Amino acid sequence: MSARTVFWALAFAVAACGGAAAHESFYSREEVIHDTPEWKGERFPDGRPKVPDAILDRMKSVTLEEAWAVLRARGYEHQYESGWQALYPDKILVGRALTSTWIPGRLDLQKVIEADGKVEGRKGGPNAWPVDMLQPRDVYVSNHFGLIKDGPSIGDNVANAIYARSHNGIVYDGAVRDINGLKELPDFIAFYRAYDPSHHYGRIGDEGRPLNSTMVAINSPTRIGGAAVMPGDVVLGRDGGVIFIPPQLAETVVKLSEHTRLRDLFGHQRLREQKYTAGQIDRDWTPQIEADFTQWLKDNADKVPVDRAAVQEYIAERETAAKK
């Protein structure tokens, strides 16, 4: 029996007993685990893959092109999204995704969701619920269907709550407000579609205004523009773009990026020294160049912009491969 089947069986059992189950689109731990089977490592209590902090630290040096190339080579064609505004354009956002999904306001569904929230003991309106679930180094990834006018659900109050829990930022497919208040948080790295001084009305009775959006999912698969996002994906935002890296590929992305960086440093140095021609560096390397590169790694392990332990691991891998 699948995790999702178990979830629905439990939901029907609770309903039969006169209680209320968690809203069907607010993914349970079992559902998150069921939908991310290729991750074999540690998980959060909510089921999301927990990519190690050390990998997140190294991910900050990865370029979008390097990550994109690794993912595309492995069949992941829809992980990148551009067209963002950034609160701090020169800063890099890295973290683990916690997702939410919104649709245009739907009153009857909103009533169900708010009633379920009361039974579950959730505090405040739905806008606060995913924020309350954030863990350190999470990135709040919210699909608000690009809503601009009367759409901002993230202003300075929500931003402070997000930062207090995650010490990180957001990827928000919608508009933010209170831009000056957001800038009081120097490490709140935010990618968003627009700024608008209005604010959304996301629960019944908000100032007597019509409901303009309804949150229908937390920690579920979602889309951000043309990108597919899963809870626990590693988010890399920089240089105007954001890429969502499946957790089981995060270490591979980091390692191959470091290898590319090291090979480029070696190649550029040897070209400046005129030891090799551009044609020799641009094509598959000869055994002699490969051996020179390995020795260069040993000589420069403490000088290159890659963690020494990672360099030593790469040297060992190369020496093992050379013996085969």
Share of the chain above pLDDT 90, in %: 79
In this predicted structure, the answer to whether residue 20 has a pLDDT above a threshold of 60 is no
Could you give the angle at the alpha carbon of 230 between the alpha carbons of 59 and 163, nearest 5°?
A: 60
Stretch 109-114: mean pLDDT: 92
pLDDT score of 31: 95
Which tens digits make up the pLDDT trace of 52-110? Answer: 999 999 999 999 999 999 999 999 999 999 999 999 999 999 999 999 999 999 989 99
pTM: 0.87
Instruction: Match 């698969």 to its residue by tokens.
Output: 221
- Distance CA(3)–CA(11), nearest Å, equals 12
Angle between helices 64-73 and 250-272 (to 10 degrees): 120
> Does residue 18 or residue 157 have the better pLDDT?
157
| Per-chain mean pLDDT for the chain | 90
Which tens digits make up the pLDDT trace of 244-294? Answer: 999 999 999 999 999 999 999 999 999 999 999 999 999 999 999 999 999
Beta carbons of 29 and 50 less than 8 angstroms apart: no
Domains along the chain with CATH numbers:
22-51+82-245 (3.50.30.40), 251-323 (no CATH)
